[in-house]
Amino acid sequence: MERRPIASRETRWADATAAALAKTGITPNAISVLGMIFAIFGGACFYFTRTECCSPLLLWIAGAVFVQLRLLANLFDGMVALLRKKNSVIGELYNEIPDRISDVVILVGFGYAAGSSVTLGFVAACIALFVAYIRAQLAVSVGKQYFIGPMAKAHRMAVVIGAALGAAILPNLDLPVYALWIVIVGGGFTAIRRVLRGGRRLTRGPTKPPFDY
């Protein structure tokens, strides 16, 4: 399966961590599910910033950390699969379904956060699902995965993490609202770019190289 290009995958710390995980016997599918669990915790932390259950500062920071852990799990599940040289017959399901759940719980949770907008949270989640759907559909139609941005998964999560850390320091600026607008507008542009690129590839025929902007 074609993998998402991630610069940190080529670093020494990523190689060392993936090797250590592979030695523990944990499966790539388990890592994928663990990433989804991190995402659920992250979304819950964002949600509870609107309550008085505990310090909003700690909740914002914890939410950002859980989102980053989700991304790390997404990085290491594929690396561990390659190191163990064993592909699961249902590995693609574990690769995709937890990711979609993770996007929804994080963005919807972010919409329910203090100083945010529930409506924008749901719209951002729908946009994220649509962007991922286009990538998956083009993989079938064109035979190539298009991970281009500017608002692919890693970019969406980077915006959320940045806004969460910003909200922890400056809670009165309603940064989550701005972040969700960035995800929505950027996601719409990303969807258009992917459709145009995939459509151009289809019209060029199966023997010609993919179109590049």
User: Is residue 15 in a domain?
Assistant: yes
pLDDT score of 209 more than 80: no
- Whether residue 143 lies inside any domain: the answer is yes
What is the span of the domain harbouring residue 55?
7-204
Q: How many domains does the chain have?
A: 1
143-172 pLDDT, tens digit per residue, is: 888 899 899 999 999 999 999 999 999 998
209 found inside a domain: no
pLDDT (tens digit, 9 = 90+) per residue, 54-89? Answer: 899 999 999 999 999 999 999 999 889 888 776 667
Question: What is the pTM for the complete model shown?
Answer: 0.90
Stronger pLDDT, 155 or 204, i.e. the higher one: 155
Q: Is residue 100 part of a domain?
A: yes
Residue 139 placed within a domain: yes
In a domain, 86, yes or no: yes
Count of residues in the chain: 213
In this predicted structure, what is the pLDDT of residue 206? 54
What's the rounded Cα separation, in Å, for the pair 91 and 94?
Answer: 5
- Nearest Cα neighbor of 76 from 37, 35, 25, 135 is 35
Judge contact between 62 and 45, C-beta under 8 A: yes
Please name which of 212, 181, 167, 209 lies closest in space to residue 55, comparing C-alpha atoms: 167
The domain that holds 97 is classified in CATH as 1.20.120.1760
Q: Within a domain: residue 1?
A: no
3-state DSSP of the chain = CCCCCCHHHHCHHHHHHHHHHHHHCCCHHHHHHHHHHHHHHHHHHHHHCCCCCCCHHHHHHHHHHHHHHHHHHHHHHHHHHHHHCCCCCCHHHHHHHHHHHHHHHHHHHHHCCCCCCHHHHHHHHHHHHHHHHHHHHHHHHCCCCCCCCCCCHHHHHHHHHHHHHHHHHCHHHCHHHHHHHHHHHHHHHHHHHHHHHHHHHHHHCCCCCCCCC
Predicted local confidence at residue 5, as pLDDT: 65
For residue 128, give the amino acid letter. A
